[in-house]
Structure 1
Amino acid sequence: MPELPEVEAARRAIEDNCLGKKITRVIIADDTKVIDGISASDFQNSIIGKTIVSACRKGKNLWLELDSPPFPSFQFGMAGAIYIKGVAVTKYKRSAVKESEEWPSKYSKFFIELDDGLEVSFTDKRRFAKVRLLENPVSVRPISELGPDALLEPMTVDEFATSLAKKKMTIKPLLLDQGYISGIGNWIADEVLYQARIHPLQTASSLSKEQCEALHTSIKEVTLLKTYKTWE
């Protein structure tokens, strides 16, 4: 599934191409499994004519801040992906929509056209994503329950070691717990543990000071490297 690097790449693509532009056309899929808590028509009417002010991310969640609330938010699920027509945006391979398919894709759940003609689509082939319209995304689930973002809000080494000492669970499931650290998924967890030379089944509280420091460094290096490689 998409992890922090893919979602951050999408956020930066929106930031680089869409800020300050007005939404002139909206198409929201009539799919209540993905479009959560609001009708397609109400969603469309709530954002048309508004200007995109910023693109924000925490963990694997992204939202667009408009010039007034409510704001569209995207929980990427298993195969969610952002497309900007004519702009290269890195997507998780299982999310990929072929260039030969129609635009917007039949898998599009959220589509907007901006006042300069640029078009943006959020697609989801597997329908495990959630697209919501929220007054304040950070104040409600799932974002309100997330731990610090692995890339943007890293703990200090001492904070990390202290928190691990209190955890009696094995280390890999702890890293995957989005309420502990947000943004780390299966492949990043495997990579950071491999780089730190820590067995996935070692109990978090049993880690030595040196292991805590190695894991802290590995999380920082892997998330930075994978994010910037994805962006490039």
Structure 2
Amino acid sequence: MPELPEVEAARRAVEENCVGKKITKCIVADDSKVIDAVSRSDFEASVLGKLIVAAHRKGKNMWLQLDSPPFPSFQFGMAGAIYIKGVAVTKYKRSAVKDEDEWPSKYSKFFIELDDGLELSFTDKRRFAKVRLLEDPTSVPPVSELGPDALFEQMTLEKFTESLHKRKTEIKALLLDQSYISGIGNWVADEVLYQARIHPRQAASSLSDASCSILYQCIKEVIEKAVEVGADSSQYPNSWIFHSREKKPDKAFVDGKKIDFITAGGRTTAYVPELQKLSGSADVKETGKTKRQASKKVSTADDTEKPTDSKEGDLGSVKSKKGAKAGAKGRKPAKKQKPEESDENNDSDAGTDCDTDQVVKKNAGNVTNRKRVGEEKLSKKRVQSNQTGRSSKRKAK
């Protein structure tokens, strides 16, 4: 999702090109999932004829200050983006609208034309963003619930270190907590932890003063650099893990060192095990992808699948033989597991399109019901067989 650098790039583009101009036209999408708690007609009427005085941001939220309230406010969600016709604004990769597409885009949720002919559009292809009309965005959620902005309101080193030592939560999860620091998302958190050589699942309270100081400086440097280049990722330093964090595990390297992927803070997380050591805690294989990968079946030379653990394989063979002698049909099929959520969907701003748990439970219920029906049929056959046997014996007598 767009993080602080992407949203700040959008804010600066609005500030440089739209401030001091009057809104002469407004089109708000008829989409109640994105346009929050206000009708499109009321929204349009409230901003027409207003002058844009300033563009503000806190964390991943932005709003336009007009010459009088209410003000349009934008929570970017997973794919929100600001476009200004004829002006280069960083396109977040998951929200890109091609230049040859219709204008305003069919994904436009808020469109305005200014008195000099300039046109601005807020688009959202995935519909996880929120566009609101607020009297004072800073006094109500989500902005009122945010912690200090990672760029504009950075804590002092002393306060930062003290706050970390009070938190027993994993450091990646803490950095993603917008009530702690606002603006840091998944890629920024991975980058600053890699640069600071801190394991994503290290307990915040266990970090030394030196590690806290390095992390503090890395947060500052990574965010300032990303903002400096307008969130244009092609200009990020080659030494950043950013450039490889979305590659396949066996092809992900940074400075010649292998990148591994685990789950930390509820998100898919890229880190370098050789440099980011987990100390004072259980091995990372206890949770995350590495454990699941270790338990996966591997393909052997004869193209048959066997468990990686030989003891488990031998035990399975014994059970299979016993089952065959008893007339069993073989091993029971493995239970369906809930598929892992993708990095795109697993986000605090995102909803879910379906309830996977319910699907799995329903399927499991169907399997159980079929099993019961089969058992009942088998039982009836046994009864019928016994009755036939008794009848044959009586006739023989």
Q: Alpha-carbon deviations, 1:152-202, whole Å to 9, x = none?
A: 100010000010011010000000000000000000000000000110011
* CA shift for structure 1 position 231: 5.2
The match for 1:165 is 165
Structure 1: unaligned runs, 5 residues or longer = none
**Map 1:8-157 → 2, pairs under 5 A:** 8-157=8-157
Taking the aligned partners of 1:132 and 1:94, their CA distance within structure 2 comes to 22
Taking the aligned partners of 1:211 and 1:152, their CA distance within structure 2 comes to 23
The match for 2:385 is none
TM-score, structure 2 normalization: 0.58
Taking the aligned partners of 1:48 and 1:74, their CA distance within structure 2 comes to 18
Taking the aligned partners of 2:91 and 2:98, their CA distance within structure 1 comes to 12
* Counterpart check, 1:187 vs 2:176: no
SS of equivalent residue, structure 2 residue 138:
helix
Q: Alpha-carbon deviations, 1:110-129, whole Å to 9, x = none?
A: 00000000000000000000
SS of equivalent residue, structure 1 residue 78:
coil
Taking the aligned partners of 1:30 and 1:82, their CA distance within structure 2 comes to 18
* CA shift for structure 1 position 230: 2.5
The match for 1:227 is 227
Taking the aligned partners of 2:91 and 2:53, their CA distance within structure 1 comes to 23
Taking the aligned partners of 1:167 and 1:227, their CA distance within structure 2 comes to 29
Amino acid at match of 1:9: A
SS of equivalent residue, structure 2 residue 230:
helix
Taking the aligned partners of 2:231 and 2:93, their CA distance within structure 1 comes to 14
Sequence identity (%):
74
More RCO (CA 8 Å, sep 6+): 1
Taking the aligned partners of 2:215 and 2:230, their CA distance within structure 1 comes to 22
RMSD (Å), alpha carbons: 0.7
Aligned residue pairs total 232
SS of equivalent residue, structure 2 residue 20:
coil
Structure 2: unaligned runs, 5 residues or longer = 233-397
Taking the aligned partners of 1:223 and 1:47, their CA distance within structure 2 comes to 33
Taking the aligned partners of 1:231 and 1:128, their CA distance within structure 2 comes to 21
Taking the aligned partners of 1:227 and 1:13, their CA distance within structure 2 comes to 12
| Runs (4+) off by over 2 Å | none
Q: Which has the larger radius of gyration?
A: 2
